[in-house]
Chains A and B, each alone.
Chain A
Amino acid sequence: MAGLMAGFGHYTHAVVRGIPASLAKEALRSNPVEVDLAAAHREHESYVEVLKTKLGLEVVELPADESLPDCVFVEDAAVVCGDTALITRPGAESRRREAEVMKGALKDLNLNIVEMTDENATLDGGDVLFTGREFFVGLSKRTNQRGAEILADAFKDYAVSTVPVLEGLHLKSFCSMGGPGLIVIGSSEPAQKALKIMQQMSDHRYDKLTVPDDLAANCIYMNLPNKGHVLLHCTVEEYPESAKVFEKLKDHMLIPVSNMEKVKVDGALTCCSVLINKKANI
């Protein structure tokens, strides 16, 4: 039986990309911080390892591109929902070309590709929160109204509501899905405000899980066969208080994943992969 919008969190594939050496110096960041490239590599490897080995996803690893220092953050280059992939037009000029390789990879996965060709549109995947029932698109430094419109057009089944991102880089810099109908949200004021907006805009009811640290609110939820609810979240080392909150989730398979280095260049957990469900729908 074909069913739409079923199986939130069901993934079979993940697309990731390597870290270029240029990341250490040239990757965009809100705060000038030194990145330990080697540590970042190790971190990313273990991240990919979790996806591949621990979770059994089919991982497509794209090669790093030195001319694209931020290319490891693949999430911004594409939004995949069901069998449709929207190739974005990242807000940062220096990142636009990241979409090219992504497009090829997704095409190879037989997804329907929708491209954002409008030159007035910008959209970073990090601003897109898909809850399983609808989209929220953060209007941020990187994402504009036009970009959101194109996303709405690409995923017509779903309501697409816009949410202002007042602080932080992306919408998902302070929130993410922690399960079906569960929004994990940071406790900062901007985060809470954004949550209120989302709540008001939505026809659906959500639960929220508030974590003390905004950045810790970015986690990765999956619903995998034989594993059930899986949550990749911050480590105790990074955010002890927030990690404790996650630990209270009893129904989830909890997998702390370190993100200490990548966070220095504004990379969060969700940023480093594009998750795909190839068995989706049809």
Chain B
Amino acid sequence: MTTESGADSEAKQPQENKETEKAKAKAAEPTSPQNQPEELPAAAGHSTPARKEQEPQDEDLVSHRSSTSRLSRSPLRGVKKVKIMQCKVTLLDGSDYTLNVEKRAKGQVLFDKVCEHLNLLEKDYFGITHRDVENQKNWLDPSKELKKQIRTGPWNFAFNVKFYPPDPSQLTEDITRYYLCLQLRDDVVSGRLPCSFATHTVLGSYTVQSELGDYDPEELGSDYISELRFAPNQTKELEEKVMELHKTYKGMTPADAEIHFLENAKKLSMYGVDLHHAKDSEGVEIMLGVCASGLLIYRDRLRINRFAWPKILKISYKRNNFYIKIRPGEFEQFESTIGFKLPNHRAAKRLWKVCVEHHTFFRLVSPEAPPKKFLSLGSKFRYSGRTQAQTRRASSQIIRPAPFFERSSSKRYNMSRSLDGAPIMENHETLMKDSASDGAAKVIAKGDIITTVTTEKKAEEEKAEQEDAQMDPVVTAEPVVSTPLRHDTKTDSEQTDFAFDGEMTATESEADDDSEMRTQYSFIRRVKGENVFIKHSNLMLEDTSPPSEMVKHQTNISELKRSFLETGDSTPGLTEWEKRLSSSPARSPRTDEPPMIEPLDTEDEEPAGEETKEVVEPKATKAPGYLVKYVVDSITTSSGPHGISLSTTMDDDVFMDGTLREVEEKTPDSQDEVSERSMLKVSPRTVIQEVSQAISDKKGTLIILKDAEDKEEGKETSAVGEEEELVVPGEAEAQENEVSETVKEDTSVVLEAKTTIVKMPSLQMEIKTDDMTQIKGTGSPKKAMASWISDEAKTEASEIISVLTKEVKEMTAPDALQQKAEVFTFREFQTEQSKSSVTQITLSESSTTSLAVSTLGWVSSSQKTSDEPEEKEVVTTETEAVPEPAPAESTGPMIVDAVDAGTKETPVVHTETKTITYESAEVDTNGDVDPGVLLSAQTITSETTSTTTTTHITKTVKGGISETRIEKRIVITGDADIDHDEALAQAIKEAKEQHPDMSVTKVVVHKETEITPEEGED
């Protein structure tokens, strides 16, 4: 299109520009006084040095229609120097469009200019891509500065369809459809959109009609068709068929031909599916496809699973792992989290972003507002554009006469090159291409939808991991252009919740913004310079349900327990398939039901309370096939603001890093729902056990349960491999320490009531019982299961006042199974009471410790109140030997049985558990009606060989006063000869040193010791 003008302009201006630049010298870019070198590191290879800077006037030449660019820039002129970058954008017809933008311009500016150039109004379906140093295609974030997104290399972009409208006929303008057609033609020719021979002919024939008009042998000649590309492997036969069809279209307008083209293309199964390479738990290559309706899982071009958006509660990634949290199926009680391994961290992040965007675009009515930034620990990535609903509405307002545009015989279809022309390496795009376009590493059958991965990839993966590891230390440094590979490594994880469908909560820690990173660093220190660094921010929490429901909740739990007890054995031998489906076994034939046609859609159903009995079965559900990790999360239902969830994480060696997940669910307003949910809450434990069971089946896998507070959405704990080794069931001892510090600046209510504690046990017991039963049901150990599980359980405060939060953490060690009640190890609850029903979520968090098997653990949590700088120690509870205060007779045996059934080879380990809580006596009784607004929450984990420190930081604003609460949990794993007291002292000391301005309010020590070391070891 305007390529030439771009070339012209290029010739002109170098000097002028430089002068201007000097003039403004110090201003904008302290880091990079000269952009030339900066932009074009030698490493990038392809360089276009001369073009880097251009004068504004040139831009006008280039894009005459663009007025925005001038506007955006002019005010600065003369005062500040504005650096101009030349951008080359490859358009959908294969031509290049060159234009200039300010270096500091945001992605939106570039995008708007291109759309303007294209005369495109319905632009929300489109986006601009940029290939990174790995030649991966990344979508430009419109809300971010270009220069931050293009760290190296020339500013070359491509204009592409980002969201493929499921029904193109609903697009308002023909010109929009035209561009969509161009994209699809490239998709087809490149092999990304596989189709049959018949489809190639049909699509090809419409393409011909659209581009060349009616069949006219005299004008077109007989060979006209060979000039166009319709298929990855175009044969003479195909061309003949295309021509045959073309002949039949006489009189069809180009716009109509495009509509027909789209009507056919949209039915193709891979239409609009954005594929990403991944691996499942067993290292099997799979592909993840993101599309309008959800996430598709492919293995060797077969669809092996599908998760519609309504089914997905949360998506997140951590390092090179990508996780989706699945809403429980019709008969399931648990949410489950499935993990996939991506080739590297960047791939994981890319996938995550694409998912967030697709979900928002297709599923939501309007985009979610990005989380508040104040005090937050990371920037939040959100899709900020219009959703499909919005863009449709907007397009309906388009009143301009249909624009004239030329459908040129696009050049690129004459050549067999991909849209971006560049060699493709790992991009998923190549997956679908013929092997020709690929590097040697990949052997791809032509037309393959799904390819296999090569060993090179692994290497890269490792490299990426290493990079990730290295990144952290670098984090605080200013982003340096010369470290291209690392630029976004800082972000370790992000996650997004679709709390309720249509409502998505995203939490993410964002790497790109350095300033934020630094902030975080300022108050979080890593114990060791390990690569484990996770940032999290938190969000959400709105709850409307009244506290009174808590009582109900309890009742439900007992009911649930009963139902569990009644439930028989596990379903024997579930197959992979059943497991794969996150749905539970179908119900038995309903003979009473009239055999009429019913619509099939159970997808979004939520388990009803009565169905809880069936819960047992789902547990066993696991889809090893593609499940990297099967994580069952307990449902955290926060009823009301108090909602707390307990989360437990287990790591196993499958993954190097453990992740702690937290999930938050908002509690529905209705009481009924709450009660249902409360029942659900019970389950988490089961999961844990199941997991532990699974793990115990493996040899020496460690289970680390970490708990997180629900309140914080994004929590991540990373477990390091070494740690895992240390904790080998049966022989190692794991210790967990938790130190939590809370600083309260206002006199908020922090009360840890004994009563609560006392009470809790009974509640717990029930829960436990239930779990046991469930476990029993779980006959099939999960095999290579994945690794971590996070669970969040929430216990609601009981009658006593309104308990703000309780956190229950549990650790279950497989070995411990043989113990009676202790199996569950340890739980701790912290309850805060506020007179008012509203509770701060943050405050309510308590730290819990869980220990696994022969583990020794202690948790210390301290809370500090600013009012009372001093610490007082109060021993709140001391439980010895038996963690379960109220062992139920029936429960004990059951547990054992259940466990035995599941795992026979479990070594017998007797453990002793001790929990001691020291707490500063101060109780805040200020009636704090204000529930507080959670500003942020984050979890940071660091590890050394023998300790794991998990720090949760939550910030809330309550009544205008902000409160920061830090909770640290330190797990010390080691031999019995470690001096735990000293370790505790040390931990406290460290905590104080690190946060001199805070005080320790509570220390909980949980120690679990192995009593009988005579277990069989494997």
Report A's interface with B, CB cutoff 8 A: 1-5, 82-84, 112, 133-134, 137, 139, 145, 148-149, 152-153, 155-164, 166, 182-183, 187-189, 192-193, 195-197, 199-203, 205-212, 244-245, 248, 281-282
- Docked CA distance A148–B195 (Å): 17
Of the candidates A201, A207, A210, A282, which one forms a contact with B306 in the assembled complex, judged by CB atoms under 8 Å apart?
A: A201
Q: Does B216 touch A at the CB level, under 8 Å?
A: no
- Docked CA distance A81–B422 (Å): 37
B267-A182 in contact (CB<8A)? no
B198-A162 in contact (CB<8A)? no
Most buried by B among A4, A183, A192, A201: A4
Q: Does B302 touch A at the CB level, under 8 Å?
A: yes
B269-A158 in contact (CB<8A)? yes
B600-A206 in contact (CB<8A)? yes
| Least Cβ–Cβ distance between A92 and chain B, in angstroms | 22
| Least Cβ–Cβ distance between A79 and chain B, in angstroms | 13
Could you mark each residue 181-204 of chain B with 1 if its beta carbon is under 8 Å from any beta carbon of chain A, else 0?
000000000000011111101100
Of the candidates A4, A205, A207, which one forms a contact with B199 in the assembled complex, judged by CB atoms under 8 Å apart?
A: A4
Of the candidates B198, B303, B588, which one forms a contact with A189 in the assembled complex, judged by CB atoms under 8 Å apart?
A: B588
- Docked CA distance A197–B585 (Å): 10
Q: Does B581 touch A at the CB level, under 8 Å?
A: yes
| Least Cβ–Cβ distance between B684 and chain A, in angstroms | 24
Enumerate 14 A-B pairs (CB-CB under 8 Å) in ascending A order: A2-B248, A4-B267, A83-B198, A133-B267, A149-B301, A152-B301, A157-B199, A163-B577, A203-B306, A209-B595, A210-B593, A210-B598, A212-B589, A281-B198
- Docked CA distance A248–B293 (Å): 34
B575-A112 in contact (CB<8A)? no
* Chain B residue contacts of A166, Cβ below 8 A: 575, 577
B575-A164 in contact (CB<8A)? yes
Q: Does B587 touch A at the CB level, under 8 Å?
A: yes
B302-A282 in contact (CB<8A)? no
A2-B202 in contact (CB<8A)? yes
- Docked CA distance A159–B269 (Å): 5
Q: Does B300 touch A at the CB level, under 8 Å?
A: yes
3 smallest CB-CB distances across A and B, nearest first, come from A192-B586, A164-B577, A159-B269
* Chain A residue contacts of B602, Cβ below 8 A: 196, 199
* Chain A residue contacts of B590, Cβ below 8 A: 187, 210
B577-A2 in contact (CB<8A)? no
- Docked CA distance A188–B195 (Å): 36
- Docked CA distance A4–B265 (Å): 9
Could you mark each residue 584-613 of chain B with 1 if its beta carbon is under 8 Å from any beta carbon of chain A, else 0?
011111110101111111110000000000
| Least Cβ–Cβ distance between A150 and chain B, in angstroms | 10
- CB closest chain-B residue, reference A161: B303
A4-B577 in contact (CB<8A)? no
Q: Does B631 touch A at the CB level, under 8 Å?
A: no
B597-A4 in contact (CB<8A)? no
B residues 260-284 touching A (CB-CB < 8 Å): 260, 263-264, 267-269
Could you mark each residue 804-842 of chain B with 1 if its beta carbon is under 8 Å from any beta carbon of chain A, else 0?
000000000000000000000000000000000000000
- Docked CA distance A217–B241 (Å): 40
A201-B588 in contact (CB<8A)? no
* Chain A residue contacts of B471, Cβ below 8 A: none
Could you mark each residue 277-305 of chain B with 1 if its beta carbon is under 8 Å from any beta carbon of chain A, else 0?
00000000000000001000000111111
A3-B586 in contact (CB<8A)? no
Of the candidates B195, B304, B577, B591, which one forms a contact with A156 in the assembled complex, judged by CB atoms under 8 Å apart?
A: B195
Q: Does B583 touch A at the CB level, under 8 Å?
A: yes
A189-B447 in contact (CB<8A)? no
Of the candidates B300, B447, B600, which one forms a contact with A149 in the assembled complex, judged by CB atoms under 8 Å apart?
A: B300
A196-B586 in contact (CB<8A)? yes
| Least Cβ–Cβ distance between A183 and chain B, in angstroms | 7
* Chain A residue contacts of B194, Cβ below 8 A: 156-157
- Docked CA distance A161–B590 (Å): 27
A193-B245 in contact (CB<8A)? no
- Docked CA distance A162–B199 (Å): 23
| Least Cβ–Cβ distance between A115 and chain B, in angstroms | 15
Q: A160-B302, A212-B589 are in contact. Are A82 and B196 (CB under 8 A)?
A: yes
Q: A84-B196, A189-B585 are in contact. Are A145 and B202 (CB under 8 A)?
A: no
Q: A196-B583, A197-B577, A210-B593 are in contact. Are A205 and B302 (CB under 8 A)?
A: no
Q: Does B467 touch A at the CB level, under 8 Å?
A: no
| Least Cβ–Cβ distance between B242 and chain A, in angstroms | 10
Could you mark each residue 849-875 of chain B with 1 if its beta carbon is under 8 Å from any beta carbon of chain A, else 0?
000000000000000000000000000
Of the candidates B305, B449, B600, which one forms a contact with A208 in the assembled complex, judged by CB atoms under 8 Å apart?
A: B600
- Docked CA distance A281–B576 (Å): 38
A2-B596 in contact (CB<8A)? no
Q: Does B905 touch A at the CB level, under 8 Å?
A: no
* Chain A residue contacts of B306, Cβ below 8 A: 161, 200-203
Could you mark each residue 700-728 of chain B with 1 if its beta carbon is under 8 Å from any beta carbon of chain A, else 0?
00000000000000000000000000000
Of the candidates A162, A189, A201, which one forms a contact with B586 in the assembled complex, judged by CB atoms under 8 Å apart?
A: A189
| Least Cβ–Cβ distance between B605 and chain A, in angstroms | 11
B residues 197-240 touching A (CB-CB < 8 Å): 197-199, 201-202, 205
Q: Does B569 touch A at the CB level, under 8 Å?
A: no
- CB closest chain-A residue, reference B297: A201
- Docked CA distance A145–B601 (Å): 27
B201-A282 in contact (CB<8A)? yes
- CB closest chain-B residue, reference A159: B269
| Least Cβ–Cβ distance between B170 and chain A, in angstroms | 17
| Least Cβ–Cβ distance between B344 and chain A, in angstroms | 27
* Chain B residue contacts of A160, Cβ below 8 A: 269, 301-303
B293-A203 in contact (CB<8A)? yes
Q: Does B578 touch A at the CB level, under 8 Å?
A: yes
- CB closest chain-B residue, reference A203: B293
* New A-B pairs, 6, CB < 8 Å, besides A133-B267, A157-B196: A4-B202, A83-B198, A134-B269, A156-B199, A203-B306, A207-B599
A162-B303 in contact (CB<8A)? yes
B577-A209 in contact (CB<8A)? no
B residues 155-200 touching A (CB-CB < 8 Å): 194-199
* Chain B residue contacts of A245, Cβ below 8 A: 595
* Chain B residue contacts of A212, Cβ below 8 A: 589, 591, 595
- CB closest chain-A residue, reference B166: A203
Q: A152-B302, A201-B303, A203-B306 are in contact. Are A282 and B601 (CB under 8 A)?
A: no
* Chain A residue contacts of B202, Cβ below 8 A: 2-4, 281-282
B589-A187 in contact (CB<8A)? yes
- Docked CA distance A202–B304 (Å): 10
* Chain B residue contacts of A82, Cβ below 8 A: 196, 198
A1-B268 in contact (CB<8A)? no
B595-A210 in contact (CB<8A)? yes
- Docked CA distance A39–B591 (Å): 32
Q: A149-B302, A212-B589, A282-B241 are in contact. Are A205 and B269 (CB under 8 A)?
A: no
- CB closest chain-B residue, reference A241: B595
- CB closest chain-B residue, reference A281: B198
- CB closest chain-B residue, reference A162: B302
- Docked CA distance A210–B589 (Å): 9
B589-A189 in contact (CB<8A)? yes
* Chain B residue contacts of A182, Cβ below 8 A: 597
Of the candidates B197, B577, B600, which one forms a contact with A205 in the assembled complex, judged by CB atoms under 8 Å apart?
A: B600
Of the candidates A4, A188, A248, which one forms a contact with B595 in the assembled complex, judged by CB atoms under 8 Å apart?
A: A248
B595-A200 in contact (CB<8A)? no
Most buried by B among A149, A164, A203: A203
B600-A193 in contact (CB<8A)? no
Of the candidates A152, A157, A197, A209, which one forms a contact with B195 in the assembled complex, judged by CB atoms under 8 Å apart?
A: A157
- Docked CA distance A206–B600 (Å): 6
* Chain A residue contacts of B589, Cβ below 8 A: 187-189, 192, 210, 212
| Least Cβ–Cβ distance between A157 and chain B, in angstroms | 5
B267-A156 in contact (CB<8A)? no
A192-B587 in contact (CB<8A)? yes
| Least Cβ–Cβ distance between A168 and chain B, in angstroms | 14
A197-B591 in contact (CB<8A)? no
- CB closest chain-B residue, reference A198: B600
Q: A82-B198, A193-B578 are in contact. Are A209 and B597 (CB under 8 A)?
A: yes
* Chain B residue contacts of A196, Cβ below 8 A: 581, 583, 586, 602
* Chain A residue contacts of B195, Cβ below 8 A: 156-157
